[in-house]
Structure 1
């Protein structure tokens, strides 16, 4: 345990050094509350340690276990349903998504609702992971799916209102955070290891890419739809 805590300190140390360097050597000002900052970093290290241990003990094993048990049903519908539900549920639990949604709502002056954004992103992740699971099951090449997904994103970028484009791309990155990644990665590895003819390294990974692409699609698609509805209402006498 002590060695692992020191390993976490080693990983966080570059962040601490960068902050202290700019604070004392560039800004040439002391920290406003050194004790509070030190306590915060200590909690970060302990929290990261607890998170990594939790991944090893809980999330990774349960993801693989679920994949193995669902495949044993000999009905791929349950695998697709689990992929959709776990993608939606983990995304709704992402603290980073909640924070971005709230800030976007405050900055958008009524154009964006934080709860709607969370639902759209969760739906996009659910669709993406389900499609990624289908790729693993079918054995298709990931290239066609990723290229097709980004071509769709590029098309929607030209069609979507300007205020939503940058936010949509940021939301795609928010999904690859601490809650979604462990379970989704474990699901992909579990499926690839249980399906005959699949290779874990080639077929087991890639679900996170799907989880990043399709929230962009759902958010921009919703903005385009709402913009069209608003224009139609404005033209109605």
Structure 2
């Protein structure tokens, strides 16, 4: 019980660090340049509180349940030594873990003209297929850079034939899918599978699963655009009700709660059923380990319900309203620096970014300090959000940003240590965390409505822009590290399979 309490306090601090900066910026804007009614402000504050509590329980549940489930299932899959079993299980796992991803559900609720179920199933199918490719890459030691180059060539080839209404949504799907539910499970799955290989590159190849799985949703939505012809594609602006009193405010949230309780129960049920069957047939975990995982699943369920309730009822509508009001100002271009400030603090506050920066610091033996990397990521994401806001105001095609960005990222992959390429592409979904889908995207959509732009082509793409930034930044840091290493004649260190590093004795030393 003491362990759970300590973990809960740790996750609460991480959630507060993620949400409080955004709350501070919103309150500052509301009391300076954006006049806001008390009802909207109260709904936002209550939504933010639910968001913090939901993220806290969800993060703890993912750590207690998703990570151990992924490691055990991955290890058990490889012990069968039957390729067809691994392929079938890989697809099923990728599919069912994706449909429970909260960031994907938030995105699906905001996409006009495409039914939520259609988009979610298409994205889940894409993740399932590409998880198979990722597992095959690990088993056969295929270089990650070759696979990334091959599949992104196909992605951009498809993009030229797909209706423009699907482009930004497709690239956003790749960013939101690698979220707080999917990443811990898939990373743990990679660690479990890497144990079957004893060569010195097995640790390096345990990274990169998330990188490939983020391509699947992009390709799936692009293919959906070739065959799916939606009707009634008009975007319906978010309506924020004027709340008369505290009772109505309470009813606004309590009325939405049963909907999300049922929605999350349906989403998590396939995971529970799959793991139950796996436990009976193969795993046979001890009673203590099983109870711990079940407690984690309960935390995950409660966290997701509170998270989605707070987001959809209070947080997202306020972000949308704020975007509309700022874009209505005579000096509407102020939304670009405001978006950059929000982008800077969103990345600074992401708990996963902290883990990533510490990982790279230890990987490079402090040659690249975590603080330098964190500030570099924050500045680069701030710039990408600024460019995204420029797109909202001007309607510039996302192609002008995505194609050069990915061309640079893929080009760098052939010149930097491969571990940096794997971490960089894995971290694309890390930067585009819950705050991006729940606040930045509605913020951009509200501004787009006000300036009379096209929501699907101009507002969507914010998540994709944020997810693209780490691909370049981390690889540039890897290039700097390689140059420093050559100058000082230091050996390159590569990470072990585990994401937790104890000492330099855990590393394999490879001479350049």
TM-score interval for Structure 1 and Structure 2 normalised by the shorter chain: 0.7 to 0.9
The answer to whether the 8 A contact 1:168-1:220 is kept is yes
Say whether 1:88 aligns with 2:344.
Answer: yes
Measure, in 2, the Cα distance between the counterparts of 1:12 and 1:152: 38
Say whether 1:207 aligns with 2:462.
Answer: yes
Measure, in 1, the Cα distance between the counterparts of 2:377 and 2:396: 25
**Equivalence map 1:65-144=2 (5 Å):** 65-144=321-400
Q: Which one of 473, 476, 480 corresponds to residue 221 of structure 1?
A: 476
Measure, in 2, the Cα distance between the counterparts of 1:111 and 1:232: 12
What RMSD over aligned residues (CA atoms) do the two structures have, in Å? 2.3
The answer to whether the 8 A contact 1:124-1:217 is kept is no
**2:241 equivalent in structure 1:** none
Measure, in 2, the Cα distance between the counterparts of 1:144 and 1:103: 32
- Structure 1 residues not aligned, in runs of 5+: none
Q: Relative to total residues, which structure has the larger helix share, 1 or 2?
A: 1
- Structure 2 residues not aligned, in runs of 5+: 1-256, 490-512
Post-superposition offset of 1:112: 4.3
Paired residues in the alignment total 233
CA 230–28 in structure 1, closer or farther in 2 if over 3 Å, else same: closer
Measure, in 1, the Cα distance between the counterparts of 2:302 and 2:475: 38
The answer to whether the 8 A contact 2:409-2:472 is kept is yes
CA 113–21 in structure 1, closer or farther in 2 if over 3 Å, else same: farther
CA 116–91 in structure 1, closer or farther in 2 if over 3 Å, else same: same
Measure, in 1, the Cα distance between the counterparts of 2:467 and 2:281: 38
Q: For 1:110-132, what per-residue CA distance to the aligned partner results, in whole angstroms no more than 9, with x for missing partners?
A: 44433333323222221211112
Q: Which one of 9, 12, 15 corresponds to residue 265 of structure 2?
A: 9
Post-superposition offset of 1:152: 1.4
The answer to whether the 8 A contact 2:340-2:383 is kept is yes
The answer to whether the 8 A contact 2:368-2:477 is kept is no
CA 44–124 in structure 1, closer or farther in 2 if over 3 Å, else same: same
CA 77–175 in structure 1, closer or farther in 2 if over 3 Å, else same: same
